[in-house]
Structure 1
Amino acid sequence: MVDKKHLDYQQLAQAERDAPPAYDDAVLSQPLARPQMTIAGARNPLAKLVGLDGQRDWNHGLCDCLERPGLTVGACCCPCMVYNHNRTRLTHLSQSGQPNPAPSYCGLSCLLYALAPQVAGIGQMALQCVARFQTRNRYAIRGNAVEDVLVGAICAPCSLVQESREIEEEEQALRAGVLGADAPPPPVEGAYRDDVGVEERTVEN
């Protein structure tokens, strides 16, 4: 009768002599990063790159306000009216998903913005900061509260123009029939668009 302990020892010795398993099918490349979310269609009509944080940059920089001289002059001379105009348009978009057919330049927001400097001297900056935050939040634009405060305090007219143009581009996209469900998704970081077609190709590092 074969000793069970001796048999176990033989099996263990044979296993130690056998070659280790091959790893021919091992994955040698890292998986590609994917964004947590994308904003497509009317809220990103220029198809700006969306980062892994699900946010993008502004369509136009603060200094690009000179591209719209009429709007910039209005924001410098009558910022309360431009502020009210932005508020009525953004509120209507948020509530109905459609452009405001008759946005107003005069209203309660205009009055509050005009009287805000009398409230501890920072009321206007506070209104501007909140407005900028709400605009960024709607369009998933990258930024933070500190940046909103600094821009509202130092360059409020440029901020008003920047916000107005962002809202205007969504309105134009909606009027043109560009909807989030039907529009192609914007490119994400790590991808590029074909110069000839519209197909997106992934760039592998």
Structure 2
Amino acid sequence: MAYNQQPHATQPMQTGGSRNANNLPFVDGEREWSNGVFDCLSDPLTCVVSWFFPCVSYGRNRARYQALEQGAVSKDPMEGIISNESIIYGVAHCFGCGGFIGMGGRGLTRGRYSIRGDTATDFALACCCGPCSLTQESREIELEEQSLGHPGAGFSQFMTPPQGGASKV
């Protein structure tokens, strides 16, 4: 009996949702972001919150990220808004150092999803395109939340119309 297939490496098992919901190709173990950094206007509420209150958006992203790390989905839309992460980011941002904190958060998100990039790019985007960078992170996290059967816990959930329509009394 002859076998024509050769053994090949498989990706390690992941618990929870899909960390590559759009099935983007991996090159050298890394992939691109699911959404471009300047696609931020496709999630306008998150973009606006990130523009005027970046500490709120940063804290929310970190709370959602931490919930996914524990195999859960953050279902409380207020979780992370007033947290150690959001306060530290807010204070650092007031002193012009928010880019350093944003760089770290972006690096964590890239690491979880095996996204191509480097610390210098993370820093540049966090400093120069902070709202777009935070929105891009939020959308990446949201894709994993959706793969777990949750509509996503980003700010865009507030713009989604309720399912089933209005009920008549």
Once the two structures are superposed, residues 154-203 of structure 1 have per-residue CA deviations (whole angstroms, 9 ceiling, x without a partner) of 10110000000000110010126xxxxxxxxxxxxxxxxxxxxxxxxxxx
The 1-side partners of 2:131 and 2:93 are apart by 15
Percent of residue pairs bearing the same amino acid type: 35
Counterparts of 1:47-196 in structure 2, within 5 Å, are 47-51=23-27, 53-94=28-69, 96-102=70-76, 103-119=79-95, 121-122=96-97, 124-175=98-149
Contact 2:58–2:134 (Cα < 8 Å) also in 1? yes
Q: Secondary structure at the match of 1:100?
A: coil
- Counterpart code for 2:50: A
- Bigger Cα displacement from structure 2, 151-160 vs 100-109: 100-109
Which structure: larger Rg?
1
Runs of 4+ in 1 over 3 A off after TM superposition: 34-41
The 2-side partners of 1:36 and 1:159 are apart by 31
The 1-side partners of 2:126 and 2:138 are apart by 14
RMSD: 2.1
- Counterpart code for 1:168: E
Contact 1:38–1:54 (Cα < 8 Å) also in 2? no
The 2-side partners of 1:167 and 1:90 are apart by 7
| Gaps in structure 1 of 5+ consecutive residues | 1-33, 177-205
The 2-side partners of 1:109 and 1:149 are apart by 17
**TM-score of the superposition, structure 1-length normalised?**
0.63
Contact 2:21–2:147 (Cα < 8 Å) also in 1? yes
Contact 2:24–2:34 (Cα < 8 Å) also in 1? yes
- Counterpart code for 2:142: E
Once the two structures are superposed, residues 8-57 of structure 1 have per-residue CA deviations (whole angstroms, 9 ceiling, x without a partner) of xxxxxxxxxxxxxxxxxxxxxxxxxx888589861011101111x11100
The 2-side partners of 1:111 and 1:60 are apart by 27
